[in-house]
Amino acid sequence: MTRHAVVLGAGIAGLAAATTLAARHDRVTVVDRDTAPTGPTARDGVPQGRHIHLLVPGGLQRLESLLPDIADDLAAAGAGIIPAPEWRFHMGGGRVAARDPSLRITGATRPLLEQVVRDRVRALERVDLLQGWSARDLVTTDDRATVTGVRLQSEADPAQERHLDADLVVDATGRGSAAPRWLADLGYTPPTEERLSVGVHYTTRLFDRDPADLGGARNVLVDIPPGQRRGGVALAVEGDRWLVTLMGMLGERPPADLEGFAAYAGSLWVDDLHRIVDGATPVSEPARHAFPAFAWNRYDRLDRMPGSFAVLGDAVCSFDPRFGQGMAVGIAEAIALGEVLDAHGPATVGPRLAEASLPVVQDAWDLSSGAVLAHPEVEGPRPLAWKATTAYLQHVLPVAHRDPEVADALIRVIGLVDRPQALMHPRTMWRVLSGSLGRDAAPSAAA
């Protein structure tokens, strides 16, 4: 008997999980309903893939720990690895002065990013990719206590079914995961779902890029300030192109026609995106995407799950995409999966993984939902802790526009490198306090 793990879903979280499992199982089969394109083109199973997908610094760092030298592979495939000094990050009424070059993001389209990661994972000796098959149901022992496999259905011929035996099944099928239904069908309580409605809409186009644009900057973020509904991001991607995503929230929809797109970019509180788009040559059709709400399946609150079954990635929690957290959180969960299996084996992997990954999911949720709740029109709970954090951030942001040390500390938190409490480090608090009082870089702190 060999030990066989099955990962459902070959998105970023599934590929990261397969990497973790390949170091611990004799065989790993990654199942996806899509058949991956041979080149870096968008695919149906990941409709969000036509829009900006960057790995924040904490995501890239974690991916490199799973797949050493992946940044080199990405660069060799034409992607950028973009350090903080090349960003123009506009939030809180100014430009964040980050300068630490070790804070890096990816500059690639999602199809290229996924292709490079997929190629690395497929090259692992123990990993097979089974494409064109959709997960239908879990198979369990008679007492339903342990998952022993999964039933699949062919995408090409729905009458065709097959069954894979497995010692471990990991669900990484994304936001549409059927795991809550599978658990209910097996007699388990499904997770409750926490939601936060944001009504976000994306419109994205590719444009030719002149490397001299915006002084050579390769990433621009124009955040949506409270009281407004419009923002956007531009990312320099492979092939000397700008991937420009315009965003609206609370139902605001950026237009798709070129003239309307440019006018929308021109209506933002900073004109960087308009400078890129105005008069530039589009090299793609527009793509649109609606993201109605954050959704968190609270597996961490379940008392019971069948053994040898775990869930990760967007199947657990999908965050407002404007904050670029989803892939990084999925990768962090994949790393936690390995730690849980090493410490406890597969029998209790589901609840233990939910518990082990709770800090990173909670941090990402608090950061992005916290920012969204600063918009008074958004409906949701605003507990005392949120009020205190929001009040502190109102001091951090203006100082981060002038003080690179505070800016780097802020980016490390937003980029999921450090936990939010790092912003409460006495040195950072001192700089924030003295900066707020108009005494930037107080002598004792600058030493």
Residue 146 is classified by DSSP as B
If one asks whether residue 434 binds ligand FAD (CB under 6 A), the answer comes out as no
Q: Which of 158, 152, 157 is nearest to 173 (CA)?
A: 152
Count of residues in contact with ligand FAD, rule CB under 6 A: 38
Instruction: Work out how close the CB of 201 gets to ligand FAD at its nearest, in angstroms, rounded to a whole number.
Output: 9
- Looking at the Cβ atoms of 89 and 403, the one nearer to ligand FAD is 89
| 66 part of the interface to ligand FAD, by CB under 6 A | no
52 binds ligand FAD (CB under 6 A): yes
3-state helix, strand, coil in the chain (%, to 5): 40, 25, 35
Work out the angle between the directed axes of helices 326-344 and 349-356 (0-180°, nearest 10): 130
Contact with ligand FAD (CB under 6 A) among 99, 253, 275, 289: 289
Q: Quote the least distance from Cβ 446 to ligand FAD, whole Å.
A: 34
Q: Does 253 bind ligand FAD (CB under 6 A)?
A: no
Q: CB-based burial of residue 60 (10 Å sphere; 0-12 exposed, 13-18 middle, 19+ buried)?
A: buried
Q: Is the dihedral of CA 7, 10, 13, 16 positive or negative?
A: positive
Distance CA 136, CA 439 (A): 62
Region binding ligand FAD by CB under 6 A among candidate stretches 89-97, 252-260, 317-325, 438-446: 317-325
Sketch the per residue contact string, 123 through 142, with ligand FAD: x for CB under 6 A, - otherwise. -----------xx-------
Mark residue 356 as left, alpha or beta (left: phi above 0; alpha: psi -120 to 50; beta: remaining): alpha
Sheet holding 133-140, edge to edge: 133-140, 147-154, 161-165
Determine the Cα–Cα distance for residues 29 and 23; give it in Å rounded to an integer. Answer: 13
Q: Which of 9, 107, 180, 232 binds ligand FAD (CB under 6 A)?
A: 9
What is the chain's length? 447
CA–CA gap between residue 15 and residue 18 (Å, rounded): 5
Q: Supply the minimum distance, in Å, between the C-beta of residue 326 and ligand FAD.
A: 2
Main-chain dihedrals φ then ψ at residue 74, nearest 5 degrees: -65, -45
We find the least distance from the C-beta atom of residue 160 to ligand FAD, in angstroms, to be: 14
| Smallest separation (angstroms) from ligand FAD to the CB of 361 | 11
| Cβ 444 to ligand FAD shortest distance, Å | 38
CB of 350 to ligand FAD, least distance (A): 16
Q: Applying CB under 6 A, which part among 139-147, 308-316, 335-343, 389-397 lies near ligand FAD? A: 308-316
Residue nearest to ligand FAD (CB): 326
Check binding of 244 to ligand FAD (CB under 6 A): no
Alpha-carbon distance 150 to 137, whole Å?
6
What distance in Å separates the CA atoms of residue 301 and residue 280, rounded to the nearest whole number? Answer: 50
When asked if residue 57 is in the footprint of ligand FAD (CB under 6 A), the reply is: no
Asked whether 312 and 8 are in contact (CB, 8 A), the reply is no
Nearer to ligand FAD, 327 or 372 (CB): 327
Closer Cβ to ligand FAD, 234 or 399, answer by number: 234
Verify binding: residue 286, ligand FAD, rule CB under 6 A: no
Minimum gap (Å) between residue 48 Cβ and ligand FAD: 3
> Which helix (H) or strand (E) segment is 290 a member of?
strand 287-297
User: Are the CB atoms for 335 and 65 separated by under 8 Å?
Assistant: yes
Q: Where are the alpha helices (DSSP H) in 179-250?
A: 179-185
**Shortest Cβ distance from residue 20 to ligand FAD (Å)?**
13
Q: How far apart are CB 173 and ligand FAD at their closest, in Å?
A: 4
- 231 belongs to the binding site for ligand FAD (CB under 6 A): no
**Distance of alpha carbon 419 from alpha carbon 410, whole angstroms:** 10
Q: Tell me the closest approach of the beta carbon of residue 35 to ligand FAD, in angstroms.
A: 10
Does residue 10 touch ligand FAD according to CB under 6 A?
yes
**Contacts of residue 267, Cβ cutoff 8 Å, sequence gap at least 6:** 230
- The single residue among 58, 313, 351, 435 that binds ligand FAD, judged by CB under 6 A, is 313
3-state secondary structure of 380: coil
CA gap 201, 195 in Å, rounded: 17
Cα–Cα distance, 36 to 194 (Å, whole number)? 32
12 part of the interface to ligand FAD, by CB under 6 A = yes
Contact call for residue 31 and ligand FAD (CB under 6 A):
yes
Which of 22, 28, 30, 54 lies at the binding interface for ligand FAD (CB under 6 A)? 54
Verify binding: residue 13, ligand FAD, rule CB under 6 A. Answer: yes
How many other C-beta atoms are found inside a 10 Å radius of the C-beta of residue 207?
21
Q: Of these, 30, 246, 327, 341, which contacts ligand FAD (CB under 6 A)?
A: 327
Q: For the chain, how long is the longest CA-to-CA vector?
A: 73
Q: Which residues bind ligand FAD (CB under 6 A)?
A: 8-14, 31-34, 45-46, 48, 51-54, 59, 134-135, 172-174, 176, 202, 289, 291, 313-315, 321, 324-328, 330
